[in-house]
Structure 1
């Protein structure tokens, strides 16, 4: 069952990578990267369906195998996404680009595996939901503002990081709903960070540095979820030098991606 879970998670990563590459291809260089404009593009919608399929397969894999096997397979989507995106833009990924992506993936796998498993249900009070949305919202606004003055690669990274923060807040809220009991007020709040994250991500994709934006998203999303879990749900954080080394590896790989991934826009 563990082998089957790994295979399903790997296929899910491929679907997720394909969806992200398709959506970036449609958003890149677009004069109107807003959701309303993108929703009229069949290829962008196909990318969304592919992402949903990848997420569904990841959930199935988690039901069949341990987290320590399934999660690293999920990180492989970065290595799949770069060649797919390059092919859509009519080029081949460079060795330096793939090496940088592998460094990011290795650091992210280390961070994911070092996070201690939580015990007990995740309960979030209404005041915690307000704090969650406020902190995520302020962080996203600051990152959005910083992106306006950044270079293209920096803009893609900051916008995607903001999207990852909002997705991490969404994941925390979903977990509180599933583990701590359903609440209609939480359900009403759930679409807000999710939609804002999707909009911000399309802005990041529109810049053109797909490798940078996708890597930044993959880093910010789980780290934000872990931070909110510790801040609001009382979950444990990893300790020691290993998490620091993994974070440094991930940061170094992202910087290398920013220097090696070319600007890709549609004309």
Structure 2
């Protein structure tokens, strides 16, 4: 089995682990939408989702050793594809036609992207200076996304995807530098960058947990899209990765990415429609009728005592 094929297989298994973790996190958030972080940390269910995430991350780390970022990261979109039927099964419902269509579009786009991006095993790594600069820029970007405002779930999902994508890029530096003998496992390039990876990965996990309070589809779609975009940007600009076939390869990669993105949008729309259909009936925005105390007063009457009849 060549390196690229091994990276693809490991990435597929990693996507299944991440999908199971995402479904578990979403179900936990739905059961207790107001749960604080400390209460989550005391719950066994949340730690179960952490273990699922860890299994997906371990497989992802090994995949990054054998495949370039432009191959491994787009396969993360399969997390959403796997999460859809898994979530449907746990919820006791059937997968809709829109969800199947979104799945097919995503898989087709990924296939085109893989044809253009498949390349040799990675051999370039980020320097300590580059890793620090990338981490600092990521922290600033995440801070801007996490300010108070409207639609926090979608902003937190985008921040989670960026954090995870950058963590993957830094992880590749750690795995390659530690296994090819170019750096000491206890040196700054390995140990120092590993600390940055841990910080970004933990931040991405916590941000995704808060994002899933708004449901699974749209937040997971944004996590899925932001992750490979952030990682591929680092791979193409700092690690010398390239698409095969020159200009034609770039066109194929862009077309595949667009098709996969459209499939992800279809999946998120199906999730949004299902969430809206499951919401309680009623007109949003109307005030709840005021309960009138049984004091004998007419509605809208001044609060004056009722005079007793004269004797």
Q: TM (normalized to structure 1)?
A: 0.77
**Does the 8 Å contact 1:156/1:205 carry over to 2?**
yes
**CA displacement at 1:115 relative to structure 2:** 2.3
**CA RMSD after TM alignment:** 3.7
Measure, in 2, the Cα distance between the counterparts of 1:176 and 1:63.
9
Unaligned runs of 5+ in 1: none
Match of 1:188 in 2: 195
Picking from 115, 140, 143, the partner of 2:142 is 140
Match of 1:77 in 2: 79
Match of 2:166 in 1: 169
**Distance change in 2, residues 1:156/1:85 (3 Å):** farther
1:53 counterpart SS class:
helix
**Does the 8 Å contact 1:25/1:88 carry over to 2?**
no
**CA displacement at 1:38 relative to structure 2:** 2.1
Picking from 12, 32, 49, the partner of 1:47 is 49
Match of 2:231 in 1: 225
**Distance change in 2, residues 1:115/1:143 (3 Å):** farther
Measure, in 1, the Cα distance between the counterparts of 2:196 and 2:67.
31
**Does the 8 Å contact 1:104/1:215 carry over to 2?**
no
Post-superposition Cα deviations, 1:53-85, rounded to whole Å, max 9, x if no partner, equal 344456677899999998887654322211222
Picking from 229, 232, 242, the partner of 1:236 is 242
Picking from 267, 270, 275, the partner of 1:257 is 267
**CA displacement at 1:18 relative to structure 2:** 1.8
Measure, in 1, the Cα distance between the counterparts of 2:211 and 2:10.
29
Post-superposition Cα deviations, 1:209-266, rounded to whole Å, max 9, x if no partner, equal x122223222222221111122232332564321221222133223323322133999
Post-superposition Cα deviations, 1:146-179, rounded to whole Å, max 9, x if no partner, equal x9324xxxx5443222211111111111111222
**Does the 8 Å contact 2:167/2:197 carry over to 1?**
yes
Unaligned runs of 5+ in 2: 178-182, 280-311
Measure, in 2, the Cα distance between the counterparts of 1:256 and 1:103.
9
Measure, in 2, the Cα distance between the counterparts of 1:16 and 1:227.
22
2:195 counterpart SS class:
helix
More deviation, 219-228/133-142: 133-142
Match of 2:28 in 1: 26
Post-superposition Cα deviations, 1:132-159, rounded to whole Å, max 9, x if no partner, equal 11222233233334x9324xxxx54432
**Distance change in 2, residues 1:109/1:78 (3 Å):** farther
**Distance change in 2, residues 1:134/1:216 (3 Å):** same
**Does the 8 Å contact 2:65/2:121 carry over to 1?**
no
**CA displacement at 1:111 relative to structure 2:** 2.9
Post-superposition Cα deviations, 1:58-117, rounded to whole Å, max 9, x if no partner, equal 667789999999888765432221122234445433221232233234324433442253
Measure, in 2, the Cα distance between the counterparts of 1:7 and 1:125.
29
Larger radius of gyration: 2
**Does the 8 Å contact 2:69/2:232 carry over to 1?**
no
